[in-house]
Structure 1
């Protein structure tokens, strides 16, 4: 039977030692989203209780080897691939990350590392970078995280700042 209720994902990345903002975002959305993801560079201990209930991967600034480098999560009919991105050379090319997402048949591929928010479709995969919750780079100077709402026919993406206000210029709907 087809899913009728939308699924909601919270995605953050690159918090670089700011445990308080990760805790704040987690507490705000606990029980309100179907899954939470942190795409690495938290600089926190992998055994921190903060990570209970959050899918988290290792970034280039995470020195705790207990973090996985990548995860593939199945949520209902949606396959989500998650990595930080540095091991796939995303500073230089999409090729390796694109190949991995295709290999694991990802509907959505979550990554970080660049500190730049983006939502781009490549092939059948939606690639989402939530930006950095602490150290933004590029043209957008807002500290951001993302919420994806997955409907039968589209994915609605909204980015939020540290005050939990929608950063409207990045809101978009991606057909499924």
Structure 2
């Protein structure tokens, strides 16, 4: 199963359109939206007609009823999805990993820092960076991940 991972669009649907036009996004079977701005996840679902797992970010409060974190399954993997601001990810992903382990998740997806990152390990930690306001490059980023049961995910950072 191929999933797309995106975060921190901050209302920039043009950036989401550019992402969706990228060849790497063409055969995605579902999206994970790690917050900021919740309405953008609705836009993504409407445009793609694909399932979109979504959580609230720090800029969504108090305007959404979305949860701060969810655990779901895809491609034989258990995934913790959160924006990350409540787990101190701007300093370390240690607390995020502990929460993922407690939830028996083998993948943790977060946003908030606007910096793309892949951390392999017992819990693979993924941050797609920001599609609209990157802090680690001049171009926005998203991720695609190929998920197969009992296999290490194959994850790529894509710049638009």
TM-score normalised by the chain length of structure 1: 0.76
The aligned length equals 152
- TM superposition shift of 1:89: 0.9
The structure richer in helix per residue is 2
**Residue 133 (structure 1) aligned to one of 125, 131, 134:** 131
8 Å CA contact retained: 1:19, 1:44? no
Alignment partner of 2:39: what SS? coil
Max Rg structure: 1
Instruction: Output the CA distance in 1 between the equivalents of 2:127 and 2:101.
Output: 17
Question: Structure 1 segments of 4 or more deviating over 6 A?
Answer: none
What does residue 103 of structure 2 align with?
104
Are residue 54 (structure 1) and residue 80 (structure 2) matched?
A: no
CA RMSD of aligned residues (A): 2.2
- TM superposition shift of 1:159: 1.6
Instruction: Output the CA distance in 1 between the equivalents of 2:87 and 2:5.
Output: 19
Query: Which has the higher relative contact order, 1 or 2, with Cα contacts under 8 A spaced 6 or more apart?
Result: 2
What does residue 39 of structure 1 align with?
34
8 Å CA contact retained: 1:18, 1:42? no
Would the alpha carbon gap of residues 45 and 160 (structure 1) be closer, same or farther in structure 2, given more than 3 Å must change?
A: closer
Instruction: Output the CA distance in 2 between the equivalents of 1:21 and 1:42.
Output: 13
Q: In structure 2, list runs of 5 or more residues that go unmatched.
A: none
TM-score normalised by the chain length of structure 2: 0.83
- The CA deviation string for residues 115-171 of structure 1, in whole angstroms up to 9 with x for no partner, is 10100024x110000010011113x33210000112453322212222xxxxxxxxx
Instruction: Output the CA distance in 2 between the equivalents of 1:142 and 1:26.
Output: 15
